[in-house]
Chains A and B, each alone.
Chain A
Amino acid sequence: MTLDWLLQHLFNGMTLNMFLQHLLNGISLGSLYALIAIGYTMVYGILRLINFAHGDIFMTATYFAFFGVVTFGMPWYVAFPIVLVMTGLLGMLVEAAAYRPLRDAPKISILISSIGASFLLENLATVIFGGVPRPFPTPEIFTGVVTLGNGLMVQKLIFYIPAVTLVFLVALLYLINKTKTGMAMRAVSKDHETAKVMGINVNRTISLTFGIGSMLAAVGGIMWGMKYPQIAPLMGVIPGLKCFIAAVIGGIGDIKGAVLGGFILGIGEIMLVAFLPNLTGYRDAFAFVLLIVILLCKPTGIVGEKIAEKV
């Protein structure tokens, strides 16, 4: 097998199976990034705001799951839907408390408020949940490995994550492109004032956007907890930053861009470590380097927001 041979000789003994393993890992990490990046891009699209608290909302979702399953002993299929709803409500609460009062304030004030909301959530989590990392209660059904035809052994989770992501992605795109609510969201993202004139409740539409974005972060959070089964109050910081970068790389404001950015980042990061193990320490820096390169070459991101307004 030529690819096999190439891999072996160029990258100190990597086999095709190992390569596939990395690719699958990259796809599932990319899925998680995509789910979180969508929240950034949706909020940016509708408010032109970078919601720095988004990574912390993601973190809080994992604690909601922990308490639901461990403390209250709920079965996962009860606990997880509740986690989605609670996280959605948390996102709406953050919007109502930290952003809505500043709707007409300068952008910089809202940005600072978002950094404040992020610190608040991180510190509240440290106080309430404790700073010591906790094990994530992965339900048994999501654990285990499967052996593929060619002897490749992978976690089942590697398949679950992209599949679940796909389901939510399809649902999201349907909501946004095919429903009246989605039409209102797109209209508000273009022009708050004219949307109001049409009779659209702009505040409710924005709130809903936060709710949906936060729910997707919760989906990502739960699966993140299963894949990297340790949760801590600051666990949202780095994924948050990276997913923000993913959203920018793809073209912030565009959902497909966020998904694309998430996958590029996830797969790129895993491959970097796989092919150039010497650079493992730079794993997190990869995102930032990629961000700089993209900003230099195509500041609007890969998909980019087209601005076509006629006089």
Chain B
Amino acid sequence: MLKIDNLVVSYGGIEALKGISMEVEDGKIVTLIGANGAGKSTTLRTIMGLVKPVSGTIVYNDRDLLSEKTQNMVCRGIALVPEGRRVFANLTVLENIKIGAFIRKDEKGIKQDIEWVYSLFPILEKRSWQLAGTLSGGEQQMLAVGRALMSRPKLLMMDEPSLGLAPLVVKDIFRIIQEIHKQGVTILLIEQNANAALHIADVGYVMETGKITLKGPGKELLSNEDIKRAYLGQSKK
């Protein structure tokens, strides 16, 4: 579905991605883990066309993605839950949900999907008339996910959806990611919470300072000694 090859991205001469290659297969949950500053967000932002790479290719369903404008990504079935939620604080919760369906014209389908988002996140329905800026962090995260779902994406990319959330809310978010996946959405998940991410992922990539250092099935990476030490907070036995 999505294939990245030898992608190099630099910010004013400093390379943030030093030629990474990775693949997201249709129908899978793929996770990209790594420490702060490894280049995970840069990867997603480059896929979305928010950052222009120095070299490399990104191909989506056999078509070049790099020449596509950000605003057209959603038409091609790619949705992003950005780092830090980025809900529109000055819009109501309902408006935030509706804006996720901005490119859609099928009023009926949109109505149904609003109900679907409400069923995934009942709290959003209760808060529908509130300004999004007044929500708690966890609620904002749910809103950001719900908003992304409203475009009926084929590929949903999430940048650290669990960051800064209470453990119980994190569990909720991960449960819902799996639920969304079951409905046929391919997922590219960025996480610092490597343990939880690898548990649900079909494939995991580990990123270190702009390079992919490891790749493998989620379960396999979970038992990898280096990963245990570096990301799962367990020391070598």
Contacts and interface: CB of A to CB of B under 8 A. Distances in A.
Nearest to B48: A197
A198 B100 CA distance: 6
B137 A310 contact: yes
Interface secondary structure of A, over-half rule: helix
A310 B72 CA distance: 29
Contacts of B134: 308
A191 B88 contact: yes
Given A310-B136, A310-B140, A194 B88 contact: yes
Interface in A190-209: 190-191, 193-194, 196-202
A22 interface: no
Interface in A134-185: 180, 183-184
A193 B50 contact: yes
A189 interface: yes
B129 to A, nearest CB: 13
Nearest to B45: A193
Given A187-B99, A308-B134, A310-B133, A197 B80 contact: yes
Contacts of A197: 48, 50, 70, 73-74, 79-80, 82
B99 A183 contact: yes
Interface residues of B, number: 33
Nearest to B71: A196
Given A311-B137, A311-B164, A199 B72 contact: yes
Interface stretch (B17-25, B90-98, B183-191): B90-98
B75 interface: yes
A220 B135 CA distance: 39
Contacts of A190: 88-91
B102 interface: yes
Interface in A10-24: none
A227 interface: no
Contacts of B80: 197
Interface in B21-75: 48, 50, 69-75
A186 B95 CA distance: 10
Nearest to B136: A310
Contact of B91 (A186, A200, A308): A186
Interface string A286-311: 00000000000000000000001111
B164 A187 contact: no
B103 interface: yes
Contacts of A201: 71
Contacts, number: 71
A267 B100 CA distance: 43
A200 B95 contact: no
B86 interface: yes
A183 B98 contact: yes
A198 B99 contact: yes
B150 to A, nearest CB: 9
B96 to A, nearest CB: 9
A191 B91 contact: no
A196 B72 CA distance: 8
B225 to A, nearest CB: 34
Contacts of B133: 308-310
A199 B86 contact: no
A190 B133 CA distance: 11
A110 to B, nearest CB: 20
Contacts of A311: 137, 164
B152 to A, nearest CB: 12
A183 B103 CA distance: 13
B151 interface: yes
Interface in B93-137: 95, 98-100, 102-103, 131, 133-137
Contact of B151 (A186, A187, A194, A199): A199
A250 B111 CA distance: 38
Given A194-B82, A200-B102, A311-B137, 15 more contacts: A186-B91, A187-B91, A187-B99, A190-B89, A190-B90, A191-B88, A193-B82, A197-B50, A198-B100, A199-B71, A200-B99, A308-B133, A308-B134, A309-B89, A309-B133
Interface of A: 180, 183-184, 186-187, 189-191, 193-194, 196-202, 308-311
30 contacts: A180-B102, A183-B91, A186-B91, A189-B90, A190-B88, A191-B86, A191-B88, A193-B82, A194-B82, A196-B70, A197-B48, A197-B70, A197-B74, A197-B82, A198-B74, A198-B102, A198-B147, A198-B151, A199-B71, A199-B102, A199-B103, A199-B151, A200-B71, A200-B99, A201-B71, A308-B133, A309-B133, A310-B135, A310-B140, A311-B164
Top 7 A-B pairs ranked by shortest CB distance? A199-B74, A199-B103, A308-B133, A196-B70, A194-B86, A196-B71, A187-B88
